[in-house]
Structure 1
Amino acid sequence: MVGTRAEVEVGPIAHGGFCVARLDGRAVFVRHSLPGERVVIEVTEGATGDTFWRADAVEVLSASPDRVPAPCPYAGPDACGGCDFQHVSRGRQRSLKGEVVSEQLRRLAGLDVAVTVEQVPGDDEGLRWRTRQRYVERPDGGKAMRKHRSHELVPVDECLLEAPHGPRHVAMGIDFEVADGGFWQVHPGAPDALVEAVLGVLDPQPGESALDLYAGVGLFARFLQDRVGESGRVVAVEGDRRASRLSITNAPGIEATAGDVGEVLAASYDGAFDLVVLDPPREGAKRTVVEQVVARTPRAVAYVACDPAALARDVAIFAEHGYALVSLRAFDVFPMTHHVECVALLAPR
């Protein structure tokens, strides 16, 4: 019941920024805790008949050695809900994220993969990296953030994740044009890290053909085109028409089509492609798109994923069609939060 307090032993990390504890046989998803701690929880969501409850750790009775003071005064129970891991040392944040990715691959794809989450340059000890920051404006003109899973506001002076400058649309030393409000990675180190990872696993060769799906403004298409050269071919498919138009500007020489990825693939580009880049939204590519991809018999697929559960579900679908997970890299481009970005290589068995 909401407001109930109890002592619990905290169990493993789970996907979503919380750890799992047990209370009277019921799973409790506990924020602001760490595996192995003994804490007092306060239930924030749940009723008597529910199979699980949500709770905050409001008192730490036995602390993990990885617990640190939160740098932000607005982090913690009953405060701003933007950060999950301000109370966790930087190294342990990354290892927790790796455990989550491994657990999702094991549970949803039946794979046993050890995952190391790599630090990327461009933040200040996990702070000052968010180049696009939105606040809620209070009636008095001040700034606020929302509480976790709530519309309730927390007045703030500033968010410590906010970068000292706005987005710089640069990757590998090249400027990209992005529409106002258009998508671009918010961590300044993310574009270079992801491009290097994708090119590293695909190893594009002159004359090859590549299909860049959910291509945005052409981040990957630009560098694929450079590698395959004039004798090669790069096709970029993107749902947002503004971004699709800009991809032609940002990646001269590519072919660009705007439209739903599944619908475009069902109607066109049905020949074979050597390489595919998949960078879907948080919900993943899903079965229809995965099956369209494998129908084009690529020698390699680079899957860029911001949600490990969606990645694992799609990896399992690829496996049904003879494509195995060959390698996986993970990047800490969202420090202090539970989010993690992965680049997976899938190839025919």
Structure 2
Amino acid sequence: MSAKTQTEPATTGAAGTETVLEIGPVAHGGHCVARHEGRVIFVRHGIPGEKVRVRLTDAEEKAKFWRADVVEVLAPSPDRVDHFWHAADPARAWDHGHPPVGGAEFGHISLARQRALKAEVLAEQLRRLAGVEDVPGWAGDTVEAVGGTHDGGSGLGWRTRASFSVTPAGKLGMHAHRSGHIVPVREMPLATDAINNLRLWDIDLQGVDRVEVAAPANGSRPLVLLAPAEGAKPKRLGAIASQLPGEVSVAAFGPANEEVRQLRGRTWVQETAAGHEYRVTGAGFWQIHRGAPGTLVGSVTEFLQGGGFLHPGAVVADLYAGAGLFTAVLADAVGETGSVLSVEGSPGTSRDARKNLHAAPQVEIVQGRVERVLHRKPRDFDALILDPPRAGAGKSVVNQLVAAHPRAIAYVSCDPASFARDVGYFRTAGWELSALRAFDLYPHTHHLETVALLTPGP
């Protein structure tokens, strides 16, 4: 579908100018594509096929493309719905003189259309970056809903973790997209009740730059992490902690060095998944959707066990293992006659994995970069689980994995572009994308999660 430009052109390249556009196809990154006099404009908060008035937010004359927000819908899509969150609604936000908060950029689209758009993005990335047209078992238009009775099908209340900024006046806030502007907030509809019930917006947060909250889906003790502003005194952090409910743990943390300092209660949370308990310290990685751990574990084990790659006595590895979500399940599957190599780069998270897996003698926990560990510890693997950060594994790691000659790799990804790029590297090395599932673990955002099975070609 090609985008078109309508009347009322932007007369200058300055941000803040408004113009009318017709919205073209969805693109990776949470926006749709429109064109103005041959120039690409990435538009947020639109739906393909709509006619809208936009406000240019990034519009340098020499730039190859511009960015814009929808401020008025002139011809709406039938899939447009009222935004569930005023702070993230661009028309309301710009009417109050500031951009909307980020993190809910698809909140104006029906959930069914959101998932269809995400499937379009995934299919397009696979075609363009990996040369993949068809994937066995994936129709190319399916992103599966993940939820339960807790949200009534609304796509709300799924975040068990949330990150906030703090305004200069000490109010809880969130950043606008690609902006230093912090918008005060008094709710976070995507977060669980356990997070919203803390009512952090009622607390004077002066002396703090950021607030991270983890509230496990199992109902165990939440943790609030305070990132101190430069020069903040310990007494000030203690005053903030005293305003939180007594059953909540509070800690100070340094995002740069992962250092966590106890203020009250624990410096970690207790998560539950797949029949195991997991300790996760500070801001250590854990899947944020309440249903994500079980969903991903189920999909990975289905692919590996269904193909005969995961069984008692198997030699397997969990790469970018975090606190050991998949490692524990692999240990169960291979039993004491098998072996599991678990590799994680973050020192703090790797320490958590050691605590979580201390009773599994078949597991070897190694802290370090995946490519270095694989070089030091070569072995013949039956199967690997690859769950890299958003940037993906990269060509060097992919080549090392291929050289290790595993029978199969289960690849878990939170970014369709880096995933497709890596699939392209595997295909160049003679591997095949044998199966794929996509999950909507981030409703009302453009993000999705994929689980893929990669196998050596014939």
Letter in 1 for 2:430: G
Per-residue CA deviation, residues 308-347 of structure 1 (Å, 9 max, x unaligned), is: 1000010010111111101111111111111111101100
Task: Give matches, 1:325-336, under 5 Å.
Answer: 325-336=433-444
2:432 maps to what in 1? 324
1:294 maps to what in 2? 402
Q: Which moves more between the two structures, 326-335 or 76-85?
A: 76-85
Contact in 2 for aligned 1:115/1:328 (Cα 8 Å): no
1:284 maps to what in 2? 392
Q: Which moves more between the two structures, 317-326 or 115-124?
A: 115-124
CA distance in 1, matches of 2:31, 2:444: 13
Greater relative CO (CA pairs within 8 A, separation 6+): 1
CA distance in 2, matches of 1:50, 1:130: 36
1:92 maps to what in 2? 113
Shift of 1:173: 3.4
Per-residue CA deviation, residues 173-227 of structure 1 (Å, 9 max, x unaligned), is: 3221111221111111000000001101111111111011001111111111111
Shift of 1:245: 2.7
Shift of 1:49: 2.3
2:276 maps to which of 169, 174, 185: 174
CA distance in 2, matches of 1:199, 1:120: 17
2:143 maps to what in 1? 117
Task: Give matches, 1:211-222, under 5 Å.
Answer: 211-222=317-328
2:420 maps to which of 308, 312, 320: 312
CA distance in 2, matches of 1:135, 1:284: 25
2:368 maps to which of 246, 259, 266: 259
CA distance in 2, matches of 1:50, 1:91: 34
Per-residue CA deviation, residues 59-118 of structure 1 (Å, 9 max, x unaligned), is: 111110100000111112221122110100011111111111111111100111414111
CA distance in 2, matches of 1:245, 1:133: 23
Do structure 1's residue 108 and structure 2's residue 129 form an aligned pair?
yes
Contact in 1 for aligned 2:166/2:182 (Cα 8 Å): no
Shift of 1:151: 1.0
2:84 maps to what in 1? 71
CA distance in 2, matches of 1:150, 1:249: 39
CA distance in 1, matches of 2:164, 2:455: 43
1:152 maps to which of 170, 173, 181: 181
Letter in 2 for 1:317: Y
CA distance in 2, matches of 1:246, 1:133: 21
Letter in 2 for 1:143: L
Do structure 1's residue 245 and structure 2's residue 354 form an aligned pair?
no
Which protein is bigger by CA-based radius of gyration? Answer: 2
Do structure 1's residue 343 and structure 2's residue 372 form an aligned pair?
no
Per-residue CA deviation, residues 217-268 of structure 1 (Å, 9 max, x unaligned), is: 1111111111111111111011012222322332323111100111111222
2:32 maps to what in 1? 19
CA distance in 2, matches of 1:328, 1:149: 32
Letter in 1 for 2:292: A
CA distance in 1, matches of 2:381, 2:314: 8
Do structure 1's residue 196 and structure 2's residue 298 form an aligned pair?
yes
The DSSP-based 3-state class of the residue aligned with 1:11 is: coil
Q: Which moves more between the two structures, 191-200 or 39-48?
A: 39-48
Letter in 2 for 1:108: L
CA distance in 2, matches of 1:133, 1:76: 19
Contact in 1 for aligned 2:157/2:189 (Cα 8 Å): yes
CA distance in 1, matches of 2:406, 2:156: 39
Query: Which consecutive unaligned segments of at least 5 residues does structure 1 have?
Result: none
CA distance in 2, matches of 1:140, 1:38: 39
Letter in 2 for 1:262: E
Do structure 1's residue 143 and structure 2's residue 143 form an aligned pair?
no
**TM-score, length-scaled by structure 2:** 0.74
The DSSP-based 3-state class of the residue aligned with 1:177 is: strand
Contact in 2 for aligned 1:167/1:186 (Cα 8 Å): no
- Residues matched between the structures, number: 348
Letter in 1 for 2:145: Q
| Identical-residue share of aligned pairs (%) | 50
CA distance in 1, matches of 2:44, 2:352: 41
CA distance in 2, matches of 1:42, 1:121: 35
Contact in 1 for aligned 2:274/2:329 (Cα 8 Å): no
Per-residue CA deviation, residues 138-174 of structure 1 (Å, 9 max, x unaligned), is: 3444221111110111111111112112124111232
The DSSP-based 3-state class of the residue aligned with 1:7 is: strand
Shift of 1:46: 1.8
1:207 maps to which of 299, 313, 334: 313
Contact in 2 for aligned 1:115/1:329 (Cα 8 Å): no
CA distance in 2, matches of 1:207, 1:330: 30
1:272 maps to what in 2? 380
**TM-score, length-scaled by structure 1:** 0.97
